[in-house]
Amino acid sequence: MFRPVWLQASDKVHKSIDAKIYGFERKSVQGEVYPVLIPGDKNDLVDGVVFFDISEHTRLKLDAFEGPQYELQEIEAVTQDNKIVKAHAYILKKEFYHIISQNYWDPQRFEKEHLENFLKTVFW
């Protein structure tokens, strides 16, 4: 959801649009500053970004970045002008739910306090 992370993970600028997905929750990870995405109830809402025209090469880079704990799933995202677009999201596999923290994950706090260091430590 953070364009600087996207750029580092994909090595390419893509057309994008802010969007929301319903039926999912973003949770903190124990001992980490980044979140995970898991299914929630139908009223749960997560803000994010949809990136367009992803090549197979870029998708493979993103798969490697996300790791084996995640499954790429097709979802529907709702844009700011209420259009529904098909997209894909990396959803945490159930066998890895033990890494989920009960703490709230705050995207503004991540951006302000952790994003710069996250980019330096994850993308050497």
* Domains and their CATH numbers in the chain: 3-122 (3.10.490.10)
| Cβ-defined contacts of 119-124 (< 8 Å, 24+) | 119/4, 119/5, 119/8, 122/5, 122/8, 123/8, 123/9
pLDDT tens for 22-64 read 999 999 999 999 999 999 999 999 999 999 999 999 999 999 9
- Model pTM score: 0.89
Please check whether residue 15 is in contact with residue 49, taking contact to mean a CB–CB distance below 8 angstroms: no
pLDDT tens for 70-121 read 999 999 999 999 999 999 999 999 999 999 998 889 999 999 999 999 888 8
